[in-house]
Each structure stands twice: as C-alpha cells, then as structure tokens.
A and B are shown apart, each in its own frame.
Chain A
Amino acid sequence: MTTPLFAIGPAPLALEPLVSAIAARSDGVDGAIVTFYGLVRNHNQGRRVHYLEYEAYEPLALKTFGRIDEEVRERWPGMRIALHHRTGRLEIGEASVAIVTASPHRADAFAACRYVIERVKQIVPVWKREYFEGGDVWIEGATADPNDSKARAEAERIACA
C-alpha cells in the first residue's frame, strides 16, 4: 500500500514510510530530505503531563494540509512535503506529528520543514487536551485564519531565521 503524503487519524506515525513516499517521487534532483517528529512531552507550563488527547476536524485539516503544501511550493518552488498528524490518546514520548521535506538544497529543506510545523500550529483544526497531575485542560493556541498574512509572514520569518 502506498503511503499518502497527507493524512490525519488515530494510527501511530512512522517517518520511514513517509521518507520512502517522498523519495519515490524524486527524479534525482533532491540533495536533502529533512524529517521532523513532534513528541508528547511529560511536562508543560510547570505541570506534570500524563498523556494528551488530540481531536481534529479531519476534512478541514486535510484541506489545510493541502493549503500549507501550496504555500510551501509558492515560497520554495520544487519543494516536496509530506505531513501526517495523529489523533486520539497519545502517551508520553509518542509522535503527534510527522513532517518530511525534500529539495535540491538542505537550507531550503530545513526552512520548509520549520515553516510547515509553524503553520500546522497556526491554522490546522486540531486540538489537544492535556491530562496532567491534578486535572485536565484544553490547550488553546492560535485563532485559525489561513488568510491572516501577518501569521504567515511570522511563520516564514521563524523558518528562515
């Protein structure tokens, strides 16, 4: 079965098939593949975290992955990306997000990878509920607005710093 480049769901994440899927689409021009795993951490804002639960509006999340892909190719022509996000209960140390970028030059692949995770945090309709010692709380980050050009510019600034 071919691994899709974009996916969201409860299955555990694996980078290897994503790297293979990206590499299979190369015609020899790639000079670098960069990978990123976002992991569930055992502490947050002074709290001891037990586990996280992720929820998503999946159809919109997938469309938003496609939008991020378009943004990346606008900024870095020829860049190819893969992006998987997990939902459901995740234990400490498990991966919640996996990103792979490929391009002729490493600097662009690193920058695009950082850009993708920043945009995921800004505009993808996913929410995490943190279960910590003594309670639980929905984490609320950014107001999602894909057309907010300031947020997009900020993601690009961080990526290219």
Chain B
Amino acid sequence: MRVTVRLFARLRDITGSAEMRRDIPAGATIRTVWTELAGEFPGMAPYERSMSSALNADYARMDAEVHDGDEIAFLPPVSGG
C-alpha cells in the first residue's frame, strides 16, 4: 500500500522534499514509516525524541496503524506565535 508523507520546517530541509510517496507493508505503523525515512535520511534521526507525528491531519501516536492512501506528517518542535 501507498502513503503520502508530509515534512515541515527543518525536516523538509533535511530531506529536500515537502511531500513524498512511500510503499509500505500491510500492518505498518507511523513508526515503520519514520524508521524507513530516518534510515534513508540520517539527519532526521536526532528528531525522533522531539518531533510529533500526525495521521490524516490529526495528531497521532507513533504506534498508530496506517492504511492505503493515508497522509502521515512529521513535525519538528513548533515555533508559532
């Protein structure tokens, strides 16, 4: 199955893309997607403890299961205001 990954701020800079598609196995979680990306872009790894994740534009835990067509987002620490 295929998911969309959205990346913001510094995570976008590290990967060079704001949005990408990834094929993932059935039963995958947000963590599966993160681990794969962090392997591909080692600069992402230090964010594992500080970033937040979202599933279909709602905050979600890393153990949330993902499905075909889902949009996953990885969010570095926020700085609005």
A contact set with B: CB distance below 8 Å: 38, 54-57, 59-61, 63, 85, 96-97, 117, 120-129, 138-147
Contact = CB atoms under 8 A, between A and B. Distances in A.
Nearest to B76: A140
Contacts of B79: 121, 126-128, 138-141
Contact of B75 (A57, A96, A129, A139): A57
Contacts of B57: 57, 59-60, 63
B4 interface: no
A121 B73 contact: no
Contacts of B78: 121-127, 140-144
A29 to B, nearest CB: 29
A125 B8 contact: yes
26 contacts: A57-B73, A59-B57, A60-B54, A60-B73, A63-B58, A85-B81, A96-B81, A97-B80, A97-B81, A120-B80, A121-B80, A122-B78, A125-B54, A126-B78, A127-B9, A138-B10, A138-B76, A138-B79, A140-B10, A140-B76, A142-B77, A143-B50, A143-B77, A143-B78, A144-B52, A144-B75
A48 to B, nearest CB: 19
- Most chain A CB inside 10 Å of its own CB: which residue of B52, B57, B73, B81: B81
Contacts of A60: 54, 57-59, 73
Interface residues of B, number: 20
A126 B79 CA distance: 6
Interface in B65-81: 73, 75-81
Interface in B3-59: 6, 8-10, 13, 50-52, 54, 57-59
Given A126-B79, A127-B8, A143 B73 contact: no
Closest 5 pairs (CB-CB, A-B):
A126-B80, A127-B9, A139-B79, A140-B77, A59-B57
B8 A141 contact: no
Contacts of A129: 9
Contact of A55 (B9, B77, B81): B9
Nearest to B18: A55
A144 B77 CA distance: 6
Contacts of B77: 140-144
A47 to B, nearest CB: 15
